[in-house]
């Protein structure tokens, strides 16, 4: 059997119903002529994307979906058009994109659809480029984002059950959909727009906490005007649990076996197969080596999918960057947070450069379709600025007196419980807890530090509490009657999948004990690291860096980027001076993209 169908990862193993197709070879495969099926040419529209027997049709004509995923929130806005042109020039006819709830509604009832979050501008550019669109509005999208793209303020509710028909969740989802869905409904195929299909949720079969939930989401979409083809997406093992009656079931490449195709046949007879997530690789996590795909195996797989009549979506066509601190985490071999770069071994690199795999895919797609050759955009060029030096610094302790709001509480509060951001809590970044101690002893977290807590007595670092270390021995300065105990906790990213998402509150999520007595009370500082925090006017207390700097600190340097600034990456070189019991907390990537 073909290498693709027999891969060790069990990516595909076709049922007997499809075996007859195995005789087709690439040379025998008739070329696809879909040049007339583009958004720019189809003015009169009567019938959208449909399932007709074992194939898709668009306006009644056979149509093969050749899609690639680009998430607009991971690409600088002024690069959107260029990225979409590269997708179309490679031979793809469809764009798939995810819509992150947490970035569009960062606070309850406050919706952001401008600048880098201007979804409608992105959809319009896709249409102008000649691409159809499959949108994935969620409410959960996964995509290796913090909490799978769900807003963290949902977790203010101690009883919250994410992705269920729990009233607290559906009330929030309905408010969000009331704003979002009418926006995208206007851009559906039958209204002259590029949207030919809408995905209902994402991989719900592997979560499946509420059997009524998927039907609820479907109705929420349809009642707000979504009339194009609906689809679900699950891996092989979870296909049956995640599908809906009269909704196309599509497949993610994980855990696919012969039984997967038998399930598909039972669910929807001989309908066309859409490999909704075919991927060369996976995300990278902090502390592990960058993952690389196998280009030869990749092309063999795609050829065989094409020969078998599959439609496909390549995840990712361009991965881009997890800007800010939006990257999520997985729990595989322990807790593993996702890095800033979302390169994902995509066909277009994080910065927009062409890869060798891009050229191979372009050649293949152009050889089997009558796709009108478009002018390939020039490669994105990176600009190397001069080396910068850290000229000034300000310790965290210097900054604290100038923070606008301090929360005082009898016990620790998690980020989500903080009365900040108009009582929406804190989503990302750091949080600092202060309390007074009168004696030393054994400091115990009992698993209540999420995710990484650096412990200080006054301004001096004394140790670390995290998910693997729950105890720390404190030696109080006997010359002082009291000392300030400080715990600086970093949110390294909420889980992006799994039932434990419901527990993903960050900071101190419960009591901290000193010799078995809970510490009381606390001052709590929110350090969310938003642009407003970074750009605020601090007093003129920046100090020149003359030697190594101890403790957490902010650093200031100046980059003369010119007008307009050019695309570049920051590569950080750090010289670390460690004391005997010192610890260094550095979270960065040497591929942190700066858009112009």
- 413-448 pLDDT, tens digit each: 999 999 999 999 999 999 999 999 999 999 999 999
Q: What is the 3-state secondary structure (H, E, C) of 552-591?
A: CEEEECCCCCCCCCCCEEECCCCCCCCCCCCCCCCCCCCC
DSSP 368-380: HB-PPPPPPPPPP
- Asked if omega into 201 is within 30° of 0 (cis), the reply is no
Phi, psi (deg, nearest 5) at residue 229: -60, 130
Sign of the C-alpha dihedral computed for residues 504, 507, 511 and 512 taken in this order: positive
CA–CA distance from 383 to each of 214, 343, 593 (Å)?
A: 47, 19, 12
Give the DSSP H or E segment for 263.
helix 258-268
**Tokens describing residue 572:** 């950080």
- Least Cα distance to 205 among 245, 223, 232, 170 occurs for 232
**Angle, nearest 10°, between helix axes 295-307 and 356-368?**
20
Residues 94, 88: Cα–Cα separation, whole Å: 8
- Asked if omega into 87 is within 30° of 0 (cis), the reply is no
Residues 175, 508: Cα–Cα separation, whole Å: 30
- Least Cα distance to 244 among 230, 262, 255, 258 occurs for 230
Asked if 431 and 525 touch (Cβ cutoff 8 Å), the reply is yes
More confident residue, 201 or 36: 201
| Averaged pLDDT, 531-535 | 72
Look at residue 575 in the predicted model and tell me its pLDDT: 56
| Per-residue confidence band for 581, with pLDDT thresholds at 50, 70 and 90 | very low
3 state DSSP class of 473: strand
Residues 415, 453: Cα–Cα separation, whole Å: 13
- 149-170 pLDDT, tens digit each: 999 999 999 999 999 999 999 9
Which of 28-32, 193-197, 526-530 tops mean pLDDT? 193-197
The whole-angstrom distance between residue 384's C-alpha and the CA centroid of its chain comes to: 28
Look at residue 425 in the predicted model and tell me its pLDDT: 97
Looking at the predicted structure, is the pLDDT value of residue 219 above 70?
A: yes
Residues 97, 124: Cα–Cα separation, whole Å: 13
Count of Cβ atoms closer than 10 Å to residue 559 Cβ? 12
**Angle, nearest 10°, between helix axes 119-129 and 167-185?**
40
Look at residue 254 in the predicted model and tell me its pLDDT: 83
- 106-117 pLDDT, tens digit each: 999 999 999 999
What residues pair up with 277 in beta bridges, in sequence order?
252
Residues 72, 341: Cα–Cα separation, whole Å: 15
Asked if 415 and 120 touch (Cβ cutoff 8 Å), the reply is no
| Per-residue confidence band for 572, with pLDDT thresholds at 50, 70 and 90 | confident
């Amino acid at each position: 059997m073909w290498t693709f169908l027999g891969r060790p990862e069990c990516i595909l193993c076709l049922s007997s119903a499809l075996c007859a197709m195995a005789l087709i070879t690439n040379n025998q495969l008739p070329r696809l002529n879909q040049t007339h099926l583009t958004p720019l040419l189809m003015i009169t529209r009567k019938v959208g994307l449909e399932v007709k027997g074992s194939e898709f049709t668009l306006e009644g004509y056979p149509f093969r979906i050749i899609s690639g995923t680009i998430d607009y929130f991971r690409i600088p806005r002024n690069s959107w058009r260029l990225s979409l042109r590269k997708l179309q020039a490679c031979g793809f006819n469809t764009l798939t994109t995810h819509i992150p709830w947490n970035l569009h509604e960062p606070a309850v009832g406050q919706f952001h659809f401008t600048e880098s979050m201007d979804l409608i501008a992105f959809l319009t550019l896709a249409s102008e480029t000649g691409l159809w669109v499959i949108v994935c509005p969620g409410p959960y999208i996964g995509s290796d984002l913090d909490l799978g793209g769900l807003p963290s303020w949902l977790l203010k509710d101690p009883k919250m059950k994410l992705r269920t028909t729990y009233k607290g969740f559906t009330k929030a989802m309905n408010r969000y959909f009331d704003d979002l869905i009418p926006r995208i409904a206007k851009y559906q195929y039958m209204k002259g727009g590029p949207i030919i299909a809408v995905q209902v949720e994402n991989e719900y079969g592997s979560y499946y906490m509420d059997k009524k939930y998927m039907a609820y989401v479907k109705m929420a979409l349809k009642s707000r005007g979504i009339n194009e083809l609906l689809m679900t997406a699950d891996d092989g093992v979870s296909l049956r649990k995640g599908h809906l009656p009269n909704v196309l079931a599509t497949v993610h490449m994980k855990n696919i076996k012969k039984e997967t195709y038998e399930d598909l046949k039972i669910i929807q007879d001989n309908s066309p197969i859409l490999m909704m997530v075919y991927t060369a690789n996976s995300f990278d996590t902090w502390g592990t080596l960058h993952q690389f795909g196998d280009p030869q195996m990749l092309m063999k797989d795609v050829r065989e999918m094409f020969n078998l009549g599959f439609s496909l979506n390549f995840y990712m066509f361009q991965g881009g960057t997890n800007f800010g601190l939006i990257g999520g985490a997985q729990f595989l071999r322990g807790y593993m947070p996702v890095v800033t770069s979302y390169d994902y071994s995509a066909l277009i690199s994080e910065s927009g450069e062409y890869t060798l795999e891009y050229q191979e895919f372009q050649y293949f797609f152009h050889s089997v379709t009558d796709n009108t050759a478009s002018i390939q955009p020039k490669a994105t060029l990176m600009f190397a600025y001069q080396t910068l030096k850290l000229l000034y610094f300000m310790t965290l302790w210097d900054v604290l007196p100038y923070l606008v709001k301090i929360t005082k509480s009898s016990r620790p509060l998690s980020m989500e419980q903080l009365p900040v951001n108009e009582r929406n809590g804190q989503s990302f970044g750091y949080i600092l807890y202060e309390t007074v101690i009168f004696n030393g002893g054994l400091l115990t977290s009992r698993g209540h530090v999420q995710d990484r807590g650096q412990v200080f007595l006054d301004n001096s670092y004394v140790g670390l509490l995290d998910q693997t270390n729950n105890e720390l021995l404190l030696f109080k300065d006997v010359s002082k009657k009291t000392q300030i105990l400080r715990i600086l906790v970093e949110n390294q990213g909420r889980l992006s999948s799994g039932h434990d998402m419901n527990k993903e509150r960050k900071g101190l999520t419960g009591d901290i004990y000193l010799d078995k007595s809970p510490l009381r009370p606390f001052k709590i500082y929110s350090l969310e690291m938003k642009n407003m925090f970074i750009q605020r006017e601090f007093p003129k207390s920046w100090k020149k860096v003359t030697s190594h700097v101890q403790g957490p600190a902010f650093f200031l340097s100046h980059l003369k980027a010119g007008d307009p600034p050019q695309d570049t990456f920051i590569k950080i070189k750090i010289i670390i001076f460690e004391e005997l019991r010192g610890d260094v907390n550095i979270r960065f990537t040497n591929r942190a993209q700066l858009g112009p």
